[in-house]
Structure 1
Amino acid sequence: MSERGIKWACEYCTYENWPSAIKCTMCRAQRPSGTIITEDPFKSGSSDVGRDWDPSSTEGGSSPLICPDSSARPRVKSSYSMENANKWSCHMCTYLNWPRAIRCTQCLSQRRTRSPTESPQSSGSGSRPVAFSVDPCEEYNDRNKLNTRTQHWTCSICTYENWAKAKKCVVCDHPRPNNIEAIELAETEEASSIINEQDRARWRGSCSSGNSQRRSPPATKRDSEVKMDFQRIELAGAVGSKEELEVDFKKLKQIKNRMKKTDWLFLNACVGVVEGDLAAIEAYKSSGGDIARQLTADEVRLLNRPSAFDVGYTLVHLAIRFQRQDMLAILLTEVSQQAAKCIPAMVCPELTEQIRREIAASLHQRKGDFACYFLTDLVTFTLPADIEDLPPTVQEKLFDEVLDRDVQKELEEESPIINWSLELATRLDSRLYALWNRTAGDCLLDSVLQATWGIYDKDSVLRKALHDSLHDCSHWFYTRWKDWESWYSQSFGLHFSLREEQWQEDWAFILSLASQPGASLEQTHIFVLAHILRRPIIVYGVKYYKSFRGETLGYTRFQGVYLPLLWEQSFCWKSPIALGYTRGHFSALVAMENDGYGNRGAGANLNTDDDITITFLPLVDSERKLLHVHFLSAQELGNEEQQEKLLREWLDCCVTEGGVLVAMQKSSRRRNHPLVTQMVEKWLDRYRQIRPCTSLSDGEEDEEDEDE
């Protein structure tokens, strides 16, 4: 006979249990003295059941059969009415549990020990609570749960419990301490304090009995927590009385609560220098962290390695101390790049705040189906021509503080991306300069505002406009994005096709990036920014992603022209802005004001009555290939002649004498915003004040030469 045929049905929940079960699997009710079999055992011809079957109890086999318990374990003789009357109520959820349960079936709360006054059990020696009989399986499971806790170690930085095999914390990447045995011992002591009611009853019985050896009472939960706190404080190097340890632990907890993600990355970078982990340094640098940051007393206290970390140490100090030559070269390069920078937005904070309020006031939303935000003012930032009037030494200092030398070198020397044409850079005075920018995730938005207003997007005004425009005009931008991605995959031989659900998931991810300050943005966001500015955006970027070691990681797709194709051409300006893209970072590319327009070649005979500066931006790369126009529809896609025609419609284009197709960026000091002009003048005055000292020293040298 199959085992299914002799299952017994629970009389409370009617669940059919296996014959070896002495309790119901569903409701944990005790198995009755007899079981009701709903199937005829003679169908399978089992001799085991027929051996205990009484023929006199049935009539022709039509009535249900009563079969005794066939479990191999001894039956517990109990009455339902007696057990039901002795059920105990949970102190947390008031659920009535069976007498044998040591935890609440509903909320798994520990059963409280009865006091002798609640349920006295009379005996000859006195009244004391009787130890509850516990199922050996239940007791084994509880012990097993406690034993699994000893397989974890607690991180001393973020208090996360990691598996024993983990060498670093999963959350904060802090290395496992060397005295891991002390941590496991503390967890074992804490686990041993969580004992069941049977252990408590046994302990009380042993205390009242003179024959058994006396044991100390088990620690309460509060005592175990304090013991754990002391253990962690000892790991942190605290020494003192109990009160002092509690105060120190509270201070450590306050320090941890105040720390931000950048702080944790900095501590991980410090540990990475000691252990030779370059990835931790790259993670800290990519988050926009300051390489010259110094360790504070609180951070040294958290790291708890006096032999390695001292107050005031930087990553460079640690690299020198532990002789990390490869890391030292990278860190020194970053320190030189982040040396004292002074851009116009830093000189006068009051003017900068006024400009931010002016930008917020000039943002409006278009009424109609395409409800995109747009700026009402056309502003283009250029370096003042008065820089050339400064002495060479002062000019060098100015350019060191306002430009990003590494980006300039990568775009000019390592790969000819900008200023590759001597005709444009020299004769037409259209040399582009890469402004220094923050290395946070908002570098794209910062570079756009730097190329227009000369400030950062510190208050996320532009990011909010980007997010709202993407959501309010999601259908319009989604159609362009989907068509462009499909064409790109086919033209580059990827040949992949996605379901509509997958397209929607990718689009939702793009929308989420726009709403998160510090999140890196993609090509779609540049396309939306072109609509907010109502002007084209030209991106000159490297072709490949590279690591800090110079290894090629992948192909970039940022370089090209982004046109506000969803606006009417009459609603947009034809003067573009230029951005540079290098190694996951955007920089504003600006020109310097020029005065003369005499010999500019074809298309450069301009009226200078309004003091207009013209910058010629190439629309081809160094190999004379036309830059890609992003997010074209199926009707707009075609050969280079069709794309060149499209560029001429949206930009003021001309061809130089050298045969280079360029777009004209027009800017005027008189037509520029007065707040931007005032900010640039205040910034330039800072360097003008250095000039008299330099001139005086030069005059003194001339007098000395004459005396000789």
Structure 2
Amino acid sequence: MTELGVKWACEYCTYENWPSAIKCTMCRAPRPSGTIITEEPFKSGPGLDGGREWDAPGTEGGGGALLICPDSSARPRVKVASVAETSSKWSCQMCTYLNWPRAIRCTQCLCQRQRTRSPTDSPHTSGSGSRPGPPPQDPCEEYNDRNRLNTRAQHWTCSACTYENWPKTRKCVVCDHPRPNGQEAIELAEPEDPSSIINEQDRARWRSGCSGGQRRSPPTSKREQELKMDFQRIELAAGAVGSKEELEVDFKKLKQIKNRMRKTDWLFLNACAGVVEGDLAAVEAYKSSGGDIARQLTADEVRLLNRPSAFDDGFTLVHLAIRFQRQDMLAVLLTEVSQQASKCIPAMVCPELTEQIRREIAASLHQRKGDFACYFLTDLVTFTLPADIEDLPPSVQEKLFDEVLDRDVQKELEEESPIINWSLELGTRLDSRLYALWNRTAGDCLLDSVLQATWGIYDKDSVLRKTLHDSLHDCSHWFYTRWKEWESWYSQSFGLHFSLREEQWQEDWAFILSLASQPGASLEQTHIFVLAHILRRPIIVYGVKYYKSFRGETLGYTRFQGVYLPLLWEQSFCWKSPIALGYTRGHFSALVAMENDGYDNRGAGANLNTDDDVTVTFLPLVDSERKLLHIHFLSAQEMGNEEQQEKLLREWLDCCVTDGGMLVALQKSSRRRNHPLVTQMVEKWLDGYRQIRPCASLSDGEEDEDEDDE
């Protein structure tokens, strides 16, 4: 707010003071009797609106103590600070800034106010004991700007770390860099008398005039320009509580830590914050830059991140992903992409047929009427690898398997821990070997693997995810009861002994519902249970039991392996032929078998009905230690010993016991009953490998002729 009237110039420092000031604002010199007029008062004349006149203060109609500026359309009316209010300000002993009486710290340098009474103190501030009233708003912010300029002008900027040091320091307090000699001549010394204050103000005014009145910020470092990342989420909170000395020490320490940081360090901290906040791009950026996934957070990095509840010393990105249940990020972090071959799956080769299959899936989804209004599929489709693959040359077969299978998942499930194909009886004599299809490493891997195991395509349009969310929402009470009862039993059986309030159960359930509606969000066991109802068939998950790091350390229990039955449907409404999924390190893959012509009546090639060409795959219901797989989400009445659970499995699946005494489930598939679009897609995909066969056969024939000539 601009004060109207005649300014008077101080005879010592030539500072232009407002007419109400009885002392110079800068040097505190008394106002001389004869003042120099440096600004003409407003005279009566036409107003901004063309007809209204502005009156000078004190004239008739001038409004008394309320002054109106010519640009009052943008500024409110305020009272001019009286002489008593202006003189009641206290001067800071460090920076000489004039503060309002209510301030207990200096507005500029945060120095504590000295409570010693001075001649400039008003009776309200000392002696009377009464609390002063609220001070009026400063009518002119020029005081603040000038004092701030004078205070900052006393600092010198370090050329190495850009830290602003006090004028008496000879070395930078952050990086110990020596003070440049050239700055000593231009930096301002600490004033000791009023004359030096005058010189300080003149020099500061000259500097501000040369630079256009704006103080330039130190140049941004090249490291920060290259990264262009959000440093605000890894900065120390500005509102920390503590003494000035403690804050200054913390600030210096953080400055030293930042100056030692390299580009890889910033990417790592950004990835750690990305795991907590769910930013997958930050994690992928760190991994693609060649960052070490097993890198651990140091104490300095934890201090810089400034979130003790989220980050701990020694934690890796995997630890953080497990703590915050980021299944999609675990897939990116723990799944090494060592396959150099480009992927070529049936859904990629035939985009037209794939779109038709997606439309067929959407058309076959219906909602059941009644209390349990869950969605379900009307078609029973099971994807299997064609038996014609065995007719291809070995080199072509190897190429095909490299492009359609996930070799890393296959190796982990077979070799690192015996989870699939561990039984020679099933894999060799009964031809029930399972193959892990390659799948996208995204948050939709569960939905993709379910559609791959049935229709051979991905959930690209999120049709299955939307159906999952709608089923959970419309049948929330049914699924919530099962989920709550199962989680309570699980916590008690594993000795956790915790109990939640109903509000906490509701919050956890709301989180599960929200995951189903977010494309790319990782899913949990409850979602597999709902998918079993949508498919109207059991889902068997063969997965690793523990999260492990690259060094083989056990990080946590996965809880995914087991059998998921559509227990909320009637048994007569469901199919007994299950599908199989594989789970490895936060990633789901479809496990499928290979067709067989059925000429020798063995295992998967057992031709149970020659007219229908049915292929049967035997899926084990026990693990490698011959322990029965867990059945998820059982009620209190359904829970029991192993015999009762085995009886329940026989009711919901076609089960039999092999010659070796192993309980298995029968997965049946048929070429004739399979959807024609799926069969057509597989045949078109296989034709691409059949075209490679003549070249391979020709090279083999040429080698045979060369041997005959010799």
TM-score, shorter chain, exceeding 0.5? yes
More displaced 10-residue stretch of structure 1: 268-277 or 440-449: 268-277
AA partner of residue 384 (structure 2) = T
AA partner of residue 568 (structure 1) = E
Q: 2:518 aligns with which of 510, 516, 519?
A: 516
Q: Distance in 2 between matches of 1:503 and 1:408?
A: 37
> Which residue is 2:380 aligned to?
378
Q: Distance in 1 between matches of 2:223 and 2:398?
A: 54
Q: Distance in 2 between matches of 1:516 and 1:408?
A: 29
By how many angstroms is 1:624 displaced?
1.8
Describe the SS at the equivalent of 2:338: helix
> Which residue is 1:121 aligned to?
none
> Which residue is 1:166 aligned to?
none
> Which residue is 2:161 aligned to?
181
Indicate how the Cα distance of structure 1 residues 532 and 597 shifts in structure 2: closer, same or farther if over 3 A, else same. Answer: farther
Q: Distance in 2 between matches of 1:495 and 1:391?
A: 59
Higher helix share: 1
> Which residue is 2:108 aligned to?
143
Q: 2:687 aligns with which of 685, 691, 695?
A: 685
By how many angstroms is 1:473 displaced?
0.7
> Which residue is 1:613 aligned to?
615
Is the Cα–Cα contact under 8 Å of residues 100 and 135 in structure 1 kept in the other structure? no
1:77-128 Cα distance to aligned partner (Å, 9 max, x none): xxxx999625989989865555459xxxxxxxxxxxxxxxxxxxxxxxxxxx
Is the Cα–Cα contact under 8 Å of residues 365 and 376 in structure 2 kept in the other structure? yes
AA partner of residue 181 (structure 1) = C
Q: Distance in 2 between matches of 1:507 and 1:398?
A: 43
AA partner of residue 547 (structure 1) = S
Is the Cα–Cα contact under 8 Å of residues 431 and 591 in structure 1 kept in the other structure? yes
The aligned runs of 1:550-699 (5 Å cut-off) are 550-596=552-598, 598-600=600-602, 606-699=608-701
Indicate how the Cα distance of structure 1 residues 234 and 270 shifts in structure 2: closer, same or farther if over 3 A, else same. Answer: closer
Q: Distance in 2 between matches of 1:484 and 1:179?
A: 63
Describe the SS at the equivalent of 1:142: coil
Q: Distance in 2 between matches of 1:676 and 1:543?
A: 33
> Which residue is 2:496 aligned to?
494
Q: Distance in 1 between matches of 2:287 and 2:211?
A: 40
The aligned runs of 1:165-564 (5 Å cut-off) are 181-182=161-162, 214-217=206-209, 227=216, 231=220, 236=225, 263-269=281-287, 273=291, 277=295, 279=316, 334-337=336-339, 339-564=341-566
Describe the SS at the equivalent of 1:530: helix
Indicate how the Cα distance of structure 1 residues 515 and 231 shifts in structure 2: closer, same or farther if over 3 A, else same. Answer: same
Identical aligned residues as a percent = 75
Q: Does 1:701 align with 2:703?
A: yes
AA partner of residue 471 (structure 2) = S
AA partner of residue 161 (structure 2) = E
Q: Distance in 2 between matches of 1:391 and 1:237?
A: 51
Is the Cα–Cα contact under 8 Å of residues 286 and 439 in structure 1 kept in the other structure? no
Indicate how the Cα distance of structure 1 residues 275 and 641 shifts in structure 2: closer, same or farther if over 3 A, else same. Answer: closer
AA partner of residue 480 (structure 1) = R
1:426-470 Cα distance to aligned partner (Å, 9 max, x none): 111111011111111111111111101111112211111111111
Q: Distance in 1 between matches of 2:203 and 2:394?
A: 99
> Which residue is 1:50 aligned to?
none
Equivalenced residues, count: 490
Is the Cα–Cα contact under 8 Å of residues 268 and 280 in structure 1 kept in the other structure? no
Q: Distance in 1 between matches of 2:628 and 2:491?
A: 20
Q: Distance in 2 between matches of 1:652 and 1:579?
A: 18
More displaced 10-residue stretch of structure 1: 506-515 or 269-278: 269-278
Is the Cα–Cα contact under 8 Å of residues 364 and 377 in structure 2 kept in the other structure? yes
Specify every segment of 5 or more residues in structure 2 that has no aligned partner in the other structure, as ranges.
Answer: 1-61, 83-96, 112-157, 166-197, 228-273, 297-315
By how many angstroms is 1:268 displaced?
3.4
Specify every segment of 5 or more residues in structure 1 that has no aligned partner in the other structure, as ranges.
Answer: 1-80, 102-131, 147-177, 186-205, 239-258, 292-329
AA partner of residue 464 (structure 1) = K
> Which residue is 1:63 aligned to?
none
1:326-369 Cα distance to aligned partner (Å, 9 max, x none): xxxx99x9342364111111112222222222212222222221
Indicate how the Cα distance of structure 1 residues 562 and 218 shifts in structure 2: closer, same or farther if over 3 A, else same. Answer: farther
Q: Distance in 1 between matches of 2:492 and 2:482?
A: 16
Indicate how the Cα distance of structure 1 residues 83 and 430 shifts in structure 2: closer, same or farther if over 3 A, else same. Answer: farther
Is the Cα–Cα contact under 8 Å of residues 377 and 535 in structure 2 kept in the other structure? yes
Is the Cα–Cα contact under 8 Å of residues 602 and 654 in structure 1 kept in the other structure? no
Q: Distance in 2 between matches of 1:650 and 1:274?
A: 46
Q: Distance in 2 between matches of 1:639 and 1:603?
A: 34
Describe the SS at the equivalent of 2:523: coil
> Which residue is 2:42 aligned to?
none
Indicate how the Cα distance of structure 1 residues 229 and 438 shifts in structure 2: closer, same or farther if over 3 A, else same. Answer: farther
By how many angstroms is 1:512 displaced?
1.4
By how many angstroms is 1:623 displaced?
1.9
Describe the SS at the equivalent of 2:590: strand
Describe the SS at the equivalent of 1:581: strand
Describe the SS at the equivalent of 1:495: coil
Q: Distance in 1 between matches of 2:109 and 2:670?
A: 78
Calculate the aligned-residue CA RMSD, in Å: 4.3
By how many angstroms is 1:608 displaced?
2.3
Q: Distance in 1 between matches of 2:485 and 2:63?
A: 75
Q: Distance in 1 between matches of 2:616 and 2:603?
A: 13
What's the TM-score, normalizing by structure 2?
A: 0.61
By how many angstroms is 1:273 displaced?
3.4
Describe the SS at the equivalent of 1:496: coil
Indicate how the Cα distance of structure 1 residues 273 and 538 shifts in structure 2: closer, same or farther if over 3 A, else same. Answer: closer
Is the Cα–Cα contact under 8 Å of residues 327 and 523 in structure 2 kept in the other structure? no
By how many angstroms is 1:566 displaced?
0.7
Q: Distance in 1 between matches of 2:291 and 2:359?
A: 43
Indicate how the Cα distance of structure 1 residues 98 and 515 shifts in structure 2: closer, same or farther if over 3 A, else same. Answer: farther
> Which residue is 1:42 aligned to?
none
Is the Cα–Cα contact under 8 Å of residues 612 and 668 in structure 1 kept in the other structure? yes
Q: Distance in 1 between matches of 2:632 and 2:226?
A: 59
By how many angstroms is 1:213 displaced?
7.1
The aligned runs of 1:101-140 (5 Å cut-off) are 135=100
AA partner of residue 503 (structure 1) = W
AA partner of residue 566 (structure 1) = L
By how many angstroms is 1:506 displaced?
1.2
Q: Distance in 2 between matches of 1:510 and 1:498?
A: 16
Is the Cα–Cα contact under 8 Å of residues 621 and 629 in structure 2 kept in the other structure? yes
> Which residue is 1:85 aligned to?
66
Is the Cα–Cα contact under 8 Å of residues 538 and 653 in structure 2 kept in the other structure? yes
Indicate how the Cα distance of structure 1 residues 488 and 286 shifts in structure 2: closer, same or farther if over 3 A, else same. Answer: closer
Is the Cα–Cα contact under 8 Å of residues 603 and 656 in structure 1 kept in the other structure? no
AA partner of residue 142 (structure 1) = T
What's the TM-score, normalizing by structure 1?
A: 0.61
Q: Distance in 1 between matches of 2:529 and 2:209?
A: 71
Indicate how the Cα distance of structure 1 residues 548 and 512 shifts in structure 2: closer, same or farther if over 3 A, else same. Answer: farther
By how many angstroms is 1:264 displaced?
3.8
